Structure 1
Amino acid sequence: MQRRQVLAIAVPGALMLARSAWAHHGWSSFDQQRPLYLEGKAVQVVWRNPHAELTLERPPNLQLPADLAQRPVPAQASPVDGPALLQAARLPTRNDRRWTIELAPLTRLQAWGMPPIAEGTDVAVLGFTFTGEKGDPVLRAEYVWVGGKAYGLRSSPA
């Protein structure tokens, strides 16, 4: 194979791998000291690994629910202080109408018994975004409420 042919194959492949590696990041990229609350409609859903995700369209007049700090959350296998996160929850300071919500891998969603989310479904999420809310409007979900039921996403059910 000539050098140009090798480059024509290798460069696009390397770019795709780099994008995949960036898209699948751990919890360390997110500001876990500042839990954020969002709710709205799922307008696009991708139910696949490395993790499911959805695009959430938030309403223009979003407010923290009065009962948020009292909502029950399920226990997770990882040490997560759910009540403290609910108590500390804030709305994002940025006003993006659409947010990408990163969910867990499909095996974990199945362990929780979480059904696939359909487009048009009302969803509430507590999670974390990038430090300083910089970059794209992305929220890594810690808890998701669908149909009035809460699901923990950091680890398996306790």
Structure 2
Amino acid sequence: MRRITLFAAALAVAAPAIAHHGWSSYDESKPITLTGTLTSVSWANPHGSATMRWQGKSWDVILAPTSRMDARGLTEAMIAPGQRISMTGYARRDGTPEMRIERVTAAGKTVELR
């Protein structure tokens, strides 16, 4: 019974790490900048996310953890849906319209997130 309990505990700890994506799937050698209007935003942990229409595609955007965004001066109101912003970061290597962002320019302010 003890082995089953230990196995279950180890699985519970490892599952979120396995489910969470790594950064190696993004091409850091080719930064891109998207400028447009956000269609959705999730201000949540382990990191925020957003969606933006750009060049005819709906892009998923991986933001930083909310504590980092707050600490760096990026507020939830600055990136609310409907806001026009610019984001610079790295697209996925496989061509999926998704990016991990490094910098946001919103409400006249540029914020470094990484």
Normalized against structure 1, the TM-score is what?
Answer: 0.57
Pairwise CA distance, 1:104 = 0.2
| CA distance in structure 2 between the partners assigned to 1:130 and 1:38 by the alignment | 14
**Structure 1 residues not aligned, in runs of 5+:** 1-13, 61-95
Provide the secondary structure at the position in 1 that maps to 2:29: coil
The corresponding residue for 2:64 is 104
Q: Which has the higher contact order (CA 8 A, sep 6+)?
A: 1
Aligned pairs for 1:6-155 (under 5 A) are: 21-22=18-19, 24-58=20-54, 60=55, 96-116=56-76, 117-131=79-93, 134-154=94-114
Q: Which amino acid aligns with 2:28?
A: Q
**1:69 match:** none
CA distance in 1, matches of 2:32, 2:65: 21
More strand by share: 2
Q: What secondary structure is seen at the aligned counterpart in 2 of 1:36?
A: strand
Quote how far apart the aligned CAs of 1:136 are. Answer: 2.6
How far 1:21 moved relative to its partner? 4.0
CA distance in 1 between partners of 2:60 and 2:108 (Å): 21
Identity of aligned residues (%): 37
CA positional deviation for 1:135: 4.7
Partner-residue secondary structure (3-state), 2:33? strand
Structure 1: how far apart are the matches of 2:23 and 2:65?
13
**Deviation per residue, 1:108-148 (Å, 9 max, x gap):** 001112110211000111100122xx253101001111112
Q: Answer with 1 or 2: which has the greater Rg.
A: 1
Q: When the two structures are superposed, what TM-score results if normalisation uses the length of structure 2?
A: 0.77
CA distance in 2, matches of 1:35, 1:41: 19
Q: CA deviation at 1:25?
A: 2.3
